[in-house]
Amino acid sequence: MVHDVHSLYSHHRAWLARWLTGRLDDPGAASDLVQDTFLRLLGVDARQLERLHEPRAYLVTVARHLLIDHQRRRALERALLEALAACPASSVPSSEEQMIMLETLLEIERLLDGLAPKVRSAFLMARLEGLDQAEIARRLGVSTRSVRRYLVEALSHCLQASG
Protein backbone atom coordinates (compact mmCIF):
# COMPACT_ATOMS: atom_id res chain seq x y z
CA MET A 1 0.00 0.00 0.00
CA VAL A 2 1.31 3.42 -0.92
CA HIS A 3 1.25 5.94 1.93
CA ASP A 4 1.33 9.68 1.87
CA VAL A 5 0.40 12.14 4.61
CA HIS A 6 -3.14 12.55 3.25
CA SER A 7 -3.86 8.81 3.15
CA LEU A 8 -2.25 8.26 6.56
CA TYR A 9 -4.38 11.07 7.96
CA SER A 10 -7.63 9.85 6.46
CA HIS A 11 -7.06 6.21 7.44
CA HIS A 12 -5.49 6.59 10.89
CA ARG A 13 -6.41 9.98 12.39
CA ALA A 14 -9.37 8.70 14.43
CA TRP A 15 -7.42 5.67 15.65
CA LEU A 16 -4.46 7.86 16.71
CA ALA A 17 -6.84 10.26 18.48
CA ARG A 18 -8.26 7.35 20.52
CA TRP A 19 -4.74 6.11 21.29
CA LEU A 20 -3.62 9.52 22.53
CA THR A 21 -6.85 10.22 24.41
CA GLY A 22 -6.26 7.01 26.36
CA ARG A 23 -2.91 8.40 27.51
CA LEU A 24 -4.00 11.95 28.34
CA ASP A 25 -6.65 13.37 30.63
CA ASP A 26 -7.29 16.17 28.20
CA PRO A 27 -9.08 15.36 24.91
CA GLY A 28 -8.15 18.80 23.56
CA ALA A 29 -4.45 18.13 24.15
CA ALA A 30 -4.85 14.72 22.49
CA SER A 31 -6.42 16.39 19.47
CA ASP A 32 -3.56 18.91 19.31
CA LEU A 33 -1.01 16.09 19.44
CA VAL A 34 -2.78 14.26 16.62
CA GLN A 35 -2.48 17.37 14.47
CA ASP A 36 1.15 17.87 15.52
CA THR A 37 1.91 14.25 14.61
CA PHE A 38 0.64 14.72 11.07
CA LEU A 39 2.31 18.11 10.76
CA ARG A 40 5.57 16.40 11.67
CA LEU A 41 4.98 13.95 8.82
CA LEU A 42 4.90 16.80 6.33
CA GLY A 43 8.66 17.11 6.83
CA VAL A 44 9.30 13.43 6.13
CA ASP A 45 10.60 12.33 2.73
CA ALA A 46 7.65 10.99 0.70
CA ARG A 47 9.67 7.92 -0.30
CA GLN A 48 10.07 7.01 3.36
CA LEU A 49 6.31 7.20 3.88
CA GLU A 50 5.70 5.11 0.75
CA ARG A 51 7.81 2.29 2.18
CA LEU A 52 5.94 2.05 5.50
CA HIS A 53 4.84 -1.50 6.29
CA GLU A 54 3.35 -0.65 9.69
CA PRO A 55 1.94 2.89 9.49
CA ARG A 56 0.33 2.75 12.93
CA ALA A 57 3.60 1.76 14.57
CA TYR A 58 5.27 4.69 12.83
CA LEU A 59 2.52 7.08 13.88
CA VAL A 60 2.73 5.86 17.48
CA THR A 61 6.49 6.44 17.49
CA VAL A 62 6.08 10.02 16.28
CA ALA A 63 3.13 10.66 18.62
CA ARG A 64 4.96 9.14 21.61
CA HIS A 65 7.85 11.58 21.16
CA LEU A 66 5.40 14.47 20.99
CA LEU A 67 3.57 13.11 24.04
CA ILE A 68 6.81 12.99 26.03
CA ASP A 69 7.54 16.60 25.04
CA HIS A 70 4.00 17.58 26.04
CA GLN A 71 4.34 15.88 29.43
CA ARG A 72 7.72 17.52 30.06
CA ARG A 73 6.27 20.90 29.24
CA ARG A 74 3.32 20.33 31.59
CA ALA A 75 5.66 19.21 34.40
CA LEU A 76 7.82 22.31 33.93
CA GLU A 77 4.73 24.52 33.84
CA ARG A 78 3.49 23.01 37.12
CA ALA A 79 6.91 23.40 38.77
CA LEU A 80 7.15 27.02 37.61
CA LEU A 81 3.64 27.82 38.86
CA GLU A 82 4.40 26.21 42.23
CA ALA A 83 7.60 28.24 42.53
CA LEU A 84 5.76 31.43 41.60
CA ALA A 85 2.99 30.68 44.11
CA ALA A 86 5.63 30.70 46.86
CA CYS A 87 6.80 34.19 45.84
CA PRO A 88 5.39 37.34 47.39
CA ALA A 89 2.68 38.83 45.20
CA SER A 90 4.77 41.94 44.58
CA SER A 91 7.56 39.92 42.94
CA VAL A 92 5.47 37.65 40.68
CA PRO A 93 6.54 38.22 37.08
CA SER A 94 4.07 39.25 34.40
CA SER A 95 2.41 36.62 32.20
CA GLU A 96 4.82 37.48 29.40
CA GLU A 97 7.82 37.08 31.70
CA GLN A 98 6.42 33.76 32.93
CA MET A 99 6.18 32.50 29.32
CA ILE A 100 9.77 33.57 28.70
CA MET A 101 10.84 31.74 31.86
CA LEU A 102 8.98 28.60 30.75
CA GLU A 103 10.53 28.71 27.27
CA THR A 104 13.97 29.15 28.83
CA LEU A 105 13.40 26.16 31.10
CA LEU A 106 12.27 24.08 28.14
CA GLU A 107 15.38 25.07 26.20
CA ILE A 108 17.58 24.10 29.15
CA GLU A 109 15.73 20.79 29.36
CA ARG A 110 16.32 20.21 25.65
CA LEU A 111 20.00 21.08 25.95
CA LEU A 112 20.51 18.69 28.86
CA ASP A 113 18.52 15.86 27.29
CA GLY A 114 20.69 12.82 26.76
CA LEU A 115 23.18 13.51 29.53
CA ALA A 116 23.90 10.76 32.06
CA PRO A 117 22.09 11.43 35.36
CA LYS A 118 25.25 12.24 37.35
CA VAL A 119 26.55 14.54 34.61
CA ARG A 120 23.22 16.35 34.49
CA SER A 121 23.02 16.60 38.28
CA ALA A 122 26.56 17.92 38.58
CA PHE A 123 25.89 20.55 35.95
CA LEU A 124 22.64 21.70 37.57
CA MET A 125 24.21 21.80 41.04
CA ALA A 126 27.05 23.93 39.72
CA ARG A 127 24.96 26.28 37.59
CA LEU A 128 21.71 26.59 39.52
CA GLU A 129 22.81 26.07 43.10
CA GLY A 130 26.27 27.57 42.73
CA LEU A 131 27.92 24.64 44.49
CA ASP A 132 31.66 24.11 44.23
CA GLN A 133 33.12 20.90 42.85
CA ALA A 134 33.97 19.50 46.29
CA GLU A 135 30.37 19.85 47.50
CA ILE A 136 29.00 18.36 44.28
CA ALA A 137 31.43 15.42 44.66
CA ARG A 138 30.26 14.89 48.25
CA ARG A 139 26.58 14.94 47.26
CA LEU A 140 27.07 12.61 44.30
CA GLY A 141 29.48 10.30 46.11
CA VAL A 142 32.21 10.70 43.49
CA SER A 143 35.66 12.29 43.31
CA THR A 144 36.18 15.95 42.46
CA ARG A 145 38.05 14.74 39.39
CA SER A 146 34.86 12.99 38.24
CA VAL A 147 32.89 16.17 38.87
CA ARG A 148 35.33 18.15 36.70
CA ARG A 149 34.93 15.54 33.95
CA TYR A 150 31.11 15.70 34.31
CA LEU A 151 31.10 19.48 34.01
CA VAL A 152 33.32 19.45 30.93
CA GLU A 153 31.08 16.79 29.37
CA ALA A 154 27.92 18.78 30.15
CA LEU A 155 29.32 22.00 28.73
CA SER A 156 30.55 20.25 25.63
CA HIS A 157 27.16 18.60 25.17
CA CYS A 158 25.36 21.94 25.53
CA LEU A 159 27.65 23.61 23.01
CA GLN A 160 27.06 20.83 20.49
CA ALA A 161 23.30 20.82 21.10
CA SER A 162 22.99 24.58 20.68
CA GLY A 163 25.25 24.81 17.64
Q: Is residue 61 part of a domain?
A: yes
Per residue in 141-150, pLDDT (tens digit) is 999 999 999 9
Per residue in 96-136, pLDDT (tens digit) is 999 998 888 888 888 888 899 999 999 989 988 899 999 99
Phi, psi of 160 (to 5 degrees): -70, -40
pTM for the complete prediction? 0.69
- Say how far apart CA 139 and CA 9 lie, in whole Å: 50
Per residue in 26-79, pLDDT (tens digit) is 899 999 999 999 999 888 887 888 788 898 999 999 999 999 889 988 888 888
Task: Look at residue 105 in the predicted model and tell me its pLDDT.
Answer: 83
Q: Is residue 148 part of a domain?
A: no
The residue range of the domain holding 17 is: 1-90
Task: Look at residue 43 in the predicted model and tell me its pLDDT.
Answer: 84
Q: Is residue 16 part of a domain?
A: yes
Question: How many domains in the chain?
Answer: 1
Q: Is residue 98 part of a domain?
A: no
Q: Is residue 50 part of a domain?
A: yes
Q: Is residue 5 part of a domain?
A: yes
Asked if residues 30 and 17 have their Cβ atoms less than 8 Å apart, the reply is yes
- Say how far apart CA 60 and CA 46 lie, in whole Å: 18
